[in-house]
Copies of this chain bind each other. A is one copy, B any other.
Amino acid sequence: MLDLVIANLTSPIVLFFALGLAAALARSDLVVPEAVAKALALYLMMSIGFKGGASVAGHGIDARLVGAVIAGALLSFSIPWVAFQILSRTTKLPTLDAAAVAAHYGSISIVTFVAASESVRLSGLVAEGYLVAVAAVMEAPAILTALWLAQKARKKAGTGAEGDEPQGALLREILLNGSIVLLTGAFVIGWITGARGLEIVSPFLVAPFQGVLCLFLLDMGLVAGRGLRAGWRELRGPVLAFGLYMPLVGASLAALVALPLGLSAGGTALLITLAASASYIAVPAAMRLALPEARPAIYLTLSLGVTFPFNLTLGIPLYIALAEALT
């Protein structure tokens, strides 16, 4: 496993992340324009969605696909509950902050997923293409659990949120989030067009993928570094610790669920990574709409500044080793 850790730590992807992190912490003015960062995110969604769909088209569907999708949804629904219990017991975070943080850990980070996919491939393993669909399915349920937790807390405190938007509108906004739509849409298009489609888009969506990922991770490092510089004051000891051990809690839950699914070692590693990763795109936006009192300085710094780097460097090799041990 040490080999895996070292190979991981010296991959261009991780090194560009480190470069961005260091530049931001040193207060360099290096910056990736916002429009370009958004375009890179679109590219990643489009590429992994398409490749996942094309791979399913090639290998066909089986019961395991359905099982994995259901397992993913269950994990996304339940992890926030676990996270919330831990936060309530070990930290002094206000309830709404705790609920918001919990939502991030139930949902997923697509870049962590992508980085894990690359490591899985480098380890000589193969993962099922439909794990992209599992990723898409895991984005939203965590938000619902968090909202339910917040509502319960509010009822208890007798501070029902007045002037709330109707729940239906909120649900639509969450499910039609751009990243979910593009990931799912590209998956379906990859599925429909299969190998023929993949051949057409391959020089754009496949070949330069890892290089683009380097640029994206440079930006992620810059963003995480700036977040850490601005927000680390908010992170007291137990909250910070949560950002480091919660991925392992999520990973363990996923490992339990993965066992009966019969996934390959690669697929198991990716499912574990999904559970261990924390969102920083879809969930923060949803939280501003649904739980505006929760503080972004806390949940974003934790997810992007602590958990993401942890997963990228140490987490992923660990999850792959765990998956190999399990299968």
Please classify the interface of chain A as helix (H, G, I), strand (E, B), loop, or mixed, using the class held by over half of its residues. Answer: helix
Chain B positions within 8 Å of A209 at CB level: 204
Interface pair A204/B197, CB less than 8 Å apart:
no
A contact residues, range: 35 or more
Interface pair A181/B215, CB less than 8 Å apart:
no
Chain B positions within 8 Å of A28 at CB level: 176-178, 181
Interface pair A30/B182, CB less than 8 Å apart:
yes
Stretch at the interface among A31-39, A61-69, A307-315, A316-324: A31-39
Chain B positions within 8 Å of A172 at CB level: 27
> Is A208 part of the binding interface, using a Cβ–Cβ cutoff of 8 Å?
yes
Stretch at the interface among A7-15, A103-111, A293-301: A7-15
A307 to B241, CA, bound (A): 56
Of residues 16 to 44 in A, which have CB atoms within 8 Å of B's CB atoms? Answer: 16, 19, 22-23, 26-36, 38-39, 42-43
A189 to chain B, nearest CB (A): 4
- CB nearest neighbor in B for A201: B211
A190 to chain B, nearest CB (A): 8
- One complex includes copies of this chain to the number of 3
Interface pair B23/A185, CB less than 8 Å apart:
yes
Interface pair A192/B32, CB less than 8 Å apart:
no
Interface pair B215/A210, CB less than 8 Å apart:
no
A11 to B200, CA, bound (A): 9
> Is A193 part of the binding interface, using a Cβ–Cβ cutoff of 8 Å?
yes
> Is A46 part of the binding interface, using a Cβ–Cβ cutoff of 8 Å?
yes
Interface pair A176/B36, CB less than 8 Å apart:
no
Knowing A16-B189, A36-B39, A176-B28, the reply to whether A23 touches B204 (Cβ < 8 A) is: no
5 closest A-B pairs by beta carbon, nearest first, are A204-B211, A30-B178, A33-B35, A204-B208, A28-B176
**27 sample A-B contacts, Cβ–Cβ < 8 Å, listed by A number:** A10-B193, A12-B200, A15-B192, A19-B185, A19-B186, A22-B185, A23-B178, A23-B181, A28-B181, A29-B178, A30-B178, A30-B182, A32-B39, A33-B34, A33-B35, A35-B36, A42-B215, A43-B215, A46-B214, A46-B215, A46-B218, A200-B210, A200-B211, A202-B211, A203-B211, A204-B212, A205-B214
Interface residues of A (CB under 8 A from B): 10-12, 15-16, 19, 22-23, 26-36, 38-39, 42-43, 46, 50, 172-173, 176-178, 181-182, 185-186, 189, 192-193, 197, 200-205, 207-212, 214-215, 218
